[in-house]
């Protein structure tokens, strides 16, 4: 009985550890998408350079990998703005590191 309880505790602890380690990826994606959405809501009122600068400033304040701060913007039509960010998240586990590619694209027509 004690070995089963100890094994269960070990499995739960490992699941929590991995959940915390990998959980930062969707959390970062949510924060980035929120910042992108906030800036894209102003796409019809602000110049692209202003949107780019403000978004870059917001991303610089987040705890993200350096390459996540490189924002790419392009107009796909006169009234559609597309913003993309591509970077790699590193998840440190006890015995290994995992590199997870992340790509976020938001498009807004105004």
pLDDT in tens, 21-63: 999 999 999 999 999 999 999 888 999 999 999 999 999 999 8
Q: Could you tell me if residue 81 is inside a domain?
A: yes
Report the number of distinct structural domains present in the chain.
1
Structural domain containing residue 68: 25-109
Q: Where are the alpha helices (DSSP H) in the chain?
A: 2-40, 48-60
pTM score, whole prediction: 0.84
Q: Is residue 30 part of a domain?
A: yes
Q: Which residue has the higher pLDDT, 9 or 3?
A: 9
Instruction: Tokens for 94, please give them.
Output: 């006890």
Does residue 8 lie within any of the structural domains?
no
Sign of CA dihedral 64, 66, 67, 72: positive
Alpha helices, H only, 41-78: 48-60
**Residue 35 is assigned to a structural domain of this protein:** yes
Pairing of strands 97-109, 72-77: unpaired
In a domain, 79, yes or no: yes
80, part of any domain: yes
Would you state the pLDDT for residue 8? 94
Q: Is the pLDDT at 88 greater than 90, yes or no? A: yes
């Amino acid at each position: 009985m004690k070995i089963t309880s100890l094994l269960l505790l070990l499995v739960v602890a490992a699941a929590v550890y991995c959940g915390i380690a990998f959980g930062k990826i969707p959390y970062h994606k949510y924060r980035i998408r929120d910042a992108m959405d906030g800036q894209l809501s102003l796409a019809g009122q602000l110049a692209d350079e202003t949107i780019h600068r403000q978004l870059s400033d917001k991303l610089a304040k987040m705890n993200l990998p350096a390459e996540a701060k490189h924002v790419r913007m392009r107009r796909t039509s006169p009234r559609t703005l597309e913003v993309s960010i591509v970077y790699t998240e590193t998840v440190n586990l006890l015995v290994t590191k995992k590199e997870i590619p992340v790509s976020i694209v938001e498009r807004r027509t105004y």
